[in-house]
Chain A
Amino acid sequence: MLKMNNIKKVFRTEVVETHALRDFSLNVDEGEFVAVTGPSGSGKTTFLNIAGLLETFTGGEYFLDGVDVKGLNDNQRSKLRNEKIGFIFQSFNLIPDLNLFDNVDVPLRYRAMNAKERKERIENALETVGLANRMKHIPSQLSGGQQQRVAIARALAGSPRFLLADEPTGNLDSEMAESVMSLLEDINQKGTTIIMVTHDPKLALRTPRSIAVKDGLVSEVVRKEAVSEANENVAAFA
């Protein structure tokens, strides 16, 4: 599904060169839920941005669903993002001037889809995250956890194969973080591949696989034996 070989990413400014990723390699299979951990500045977000086609890379190769990403132009990348990838951001990134319905509608509008189908999808997505009764509210009228659930609804509405989440619980208290996490687990259960960057070791333990990034490299891959076992571990932690 996602295949990265020796990805390099160098940020060049006038004064410094930052090697954000150095020989970053990773395979993620269809249906996996992978947690990504690592210290600040280790390259987690950079990896996610490249995986989500938000950024180009300096070297190496990346296949998304068998497609060599390197050869794509800006419009093709936009189209792939729109159709295959759902994004969840640490600070939610909802559009403050639009109500929940219109927020979830944003990615659908960039697809040739008729109004009826969009409406159905939006309502289903908001239903899934439990906010169907708030469609006319604007983001500032919601709590952080609710806002993140709207963002998840927005990511889900286009039925992506892939969900990329950069610290989705980073701005939430533990209770809200829990509700978001279990929502993601449900989504994964239904077949969506998820890659989630997190600073929270408890959450990282809950996923079947977690990788640790350090200095732009995958330093450690933890593959738990079975999901149920991992869940027990979490139970033990809690």
Chain B
Amino acid sequence: MEIKPILSALSRNKTGALLIALQIALTMTIIVNSVFMIQHRQGQMDRESGINEADTFILSYMGFAEDYNEKTQLIEDLNFIRELPGVVDAVQTNSAPLTGGGWSMSLATETGPDADDVGTAIYFVDDHGVNAFGVNLIAGRNFTADEIIWRERTSTKWPGQGVITKALAADLFEDDWQSALGKTVYISETQPINIVGIIDKMQAPWNGWSGVERTLLVPSYTEFGGARIFIRTEPGERDRLMTEIEEQLVANYKGRLIRRVRSMEEVRTDSYRSHNGMNTILKTLIICLTVVTALGIVGLASFSVNRRKKQIGTRRALGARKLDILRYFMVENFLITTFGVVLGAVMTIGLNMVLVDMLDLPKIDWYYIPAGMAVLWFIGLMAVFGPAKKACQISPALATRSV
């Protein structure tokens, strides 16, 4: 092949080629890292929360009237809601997956301050929790009504039973989640919790947390000055019941303020709003960069074809076929692009290392690099094809005509 003379010709006209190679390298770096970030975010968004999201909503209120009796009001509300036609179940809870706010504690398999502990999200529920959230109990049992305690805001007392997720069980008991059932773990260093049940999956409220799959349910009502009630309906009944229940609760007792009624679908959308926004920005950036780089290649190739018209005519006069001219420019561009993508590969890994540090992003998977190289090679060849095609059309007679 004619690589050697093309290289030596290139080496005498470095600037343009180097600038384009650098642009290709930068484009590859940004595109590949962006695609990786998009995929990573998409992967997070695709995770299931483990609960029923389609037919559920959360309602929260605060009591303000003098006669507001937190305990009786809560029980009355729960009984009322659970009786409504179309309602599958309801539970008081402090939080829910995807909401972004909640309670977390550390659990250890031994007592004492030096024990290895594992952080977990905590949901306070009663015996309706499993059914209302629609989570899957895969071992052990649910709470019984007599296990449920009342917890005041200042209390540090924990109930003696817990239901945990499979992921938390695996983290606590060296990957053997099944062995967790019936074991005792310690919260607040010394208070024992007996693991009575294990559920398949239920995310913590914080979607960006690395321990998002670690969750503990404890049998407890909370007296925090109001209530947050998680309600599950029959399919298709949610929207109707969201308005109905809000109105009914207000009608039943006026000494409280209904603060928020949100479907879990809304909660999910809000939870990943910034993910979605960032992905849109990155996608736009990718498209813009690709277009700009492709145009840059077209520009450089057109310029170099125009600058070398006489040379092309001469080559044709000396026996080059149209195909030889086309090949010359394709190969030349391929060499520039290759330099660019090799540099790009190094820079891509470099940027990823920075992002791993700064944004807590995982390391990029190796196959993103060759894929990115292939894409930019392809873009390069597509972009140069037009100018190269034009170069083919230059007449050999140009060799004798002064330009």
Kindly report which residue of chain A lies nearest to residue B402, judged by CB atoms. Answer: A91
Contact present for B5 and A110 (CB under 8 Å): no
Q: Is the CB of B314 within 8 A of A95?
A: yes
* B 315-352 binary contact with A (CB < 8 Å = 1; else 0): 11111111110000000000000000000000000000
Which of A27-35, A45-53, A62-70, A212-220 is near enough to bind chain B?
A45-53
The number of residues on chain B lying at the interface, defined by a beta carbon within 8 Å of a beta carbon of chain A, is 27
Give complex CA distance A177, B292 in Å: 51
Q: Determine if B318 and A81 form an interchain contact, defined as CB atoms under 8 angstroms apart.
A: yes
Bound-complex Cα distance A48 to B402 (A): 15
Q: Which residue of A lies closest to B324 (CB)?
A: A110
Residues of chain A within 8 A of B2, CB atoms compared = 109
A106 to B192, CA, bound (A): 87
- Known: A54-B397, A89-B399, A166-B400. Is A83-B319 also a contact (CB below 8 A)? yes
Contacts between chains A and B (CB distance < 8 A), count: 88
Known contacts A97-B8, A97-B13, A105-B5, A49 near B320 by CB under 8 Å? no
Q: Does B54 contact A (CB under 8 A)?
A: no
- As a 0/1 sequence over residues 74 to 104 of chain A, the CB contacts with chain B under 8 angstroms (1 = contact) are 1100110111000101110101111100100
Closest to B319 in A: A82
Encode A111-153 as 1/0 by CB contact (under 8 A) with B.
1000000000000000000000000001000000000000000
User: In the complex, what residue of chain A is closest to B13 when comparing beta carbons?
Assistant: A97
State whether A78 touches B321 (Cβ < 8 A): yes
* B-side contacts of A110, CB under 8 Å: 315, 318-321, 324
Contacts of A49 in B (CB 8 A): 397, 400
The CA-CA distance from A78 to B395 in the complex, in Å, is: 11
A154 interface hit (Cβ, 8 Å):
yes
A106→B308 CA distance, assembly (Å): 15
Is A82's CB under 8 angstroms from B318's CB?
Answer: yes
Closest CB in chain B relative to A166 CB, distance in Å:
5
Is there contact, CB below 8 Å, between B8 and A95?
A: no
Query: B396: CB under 8 A from chain A?
Result: yes
Contact (A79, B400) CB under 8 Å given A93-B310, A97-B8, A110-B324:
no
- Distance from B12 Cβ to chain A, minimum over Cβ atoms (Å): 4
Contact, CB under 8 Å: A99 / B8: yes
Contact B311 A95 (CB under 8 A): yes
Cβ A79 vs Cβ B319 within 8 A: yes
Q: Does B291 contact A (CB under 8 A)?
A: no
A59 at the interface (CB under 8 A from B): no
With both chains docked as a complex, state the minimum distance between the C-beta of B158 and any C-beta of chain A, in angstroms: 80
Q: Does B401 contact A (CB under 8 A)?
A: yes
A52 to B395, CA, bound (A): 13
In the complex, how many residues of chain A place their beta carbon closer than 8 angstroms to a beta carbon of chain B? 35
Question: Contact string, B361-403, partner A, CB cutoff 8 A, digits 1/0?
Answer: 0000000000000000000000000000000000111011110
A186 beta carbon closer than 8 Å to chain B: no
Given A95-B314, A109-B2, A87:B399 Cβ within 8 A: yes
Do residues A81 and B317 form an inter-chain contact, with CB atoms below 8 A? Answer: yes
**Contact residues in B for A111 (Cβ distance below 8 Å):** 319
Q: Does B9 contact A (CB under 8 A)?
A: yes
Closest Cβ–Cβ distance, residue B403 to chain A (whole Å): 10
Within the complex, what minimum Cβ distance (angstroms) separates A111 from chain B? 7
> How far, in Å, is A80 (CB) from chain B's closest CB?
8
In the complex, which residues of chain B have a beta carbon less than 8 angstroms from the beta carbon of A93?
Answer: 310-311, 314, 317, 399
Interface centre among B315, B323, B395, B402 (most CB of A within 10 A): B315
Assess whether B12 is in contact with A97, with CB atoms less than 8 Å apart: yes
Q: Which residues of A contact B402 (CB under 8 A)?
A: 90-91
Question: Roughly how many angstroms separate A131 CA and B382 CA in the complex, as a whole number?
Answer: 42
A107 neighbours in B (Cβ, 8 Å): 318-319
What is the CB-to-nearest-CB distance from A67 to chain B, in angstroms, rounded to a whole number? 16
Given A89-B399, A109-B2, A98 contacting B8 (CB threshold 8 A): yes
* B-side contacts of A98, CB under 8 Å: 5, 8-9
A178 on interface, CB distance cutoff 8 Å: no
Does A232 have its Cβ within 8 Å of any Cβ on chain B?
no
Q: Which residues of B lie under 8 Å from residue A89 when comparing CB positions?
A: 314, 399-400
Tell me which residues across on chain B come within 8 A of A81, comparing CB atoms. Answer: 317-319, 396
Q: What is the CB-to-nearest-CB distance from B240 to chain A, in angstroms, rounded to a whole number? A: 76
- Contacting residues of chain B (1-56) with chain A, CB-CB under 8 angstroms: 2, 4-5, 8-9, 12-13
Which 10 A-B residue pairings sit nearest by Cβ, starting from the closest? A82-B319, A97-B9, A107-B318, A110-B319, A93-B314, A97-B12, A54-B396, A78-B321, A54-B397, A55-B397
Beyond A54-B316, A98-B8, 4 additional contacts (C-beta under 8 Å) are: A45-B401, A78-B322, A93-B314, A102-B5
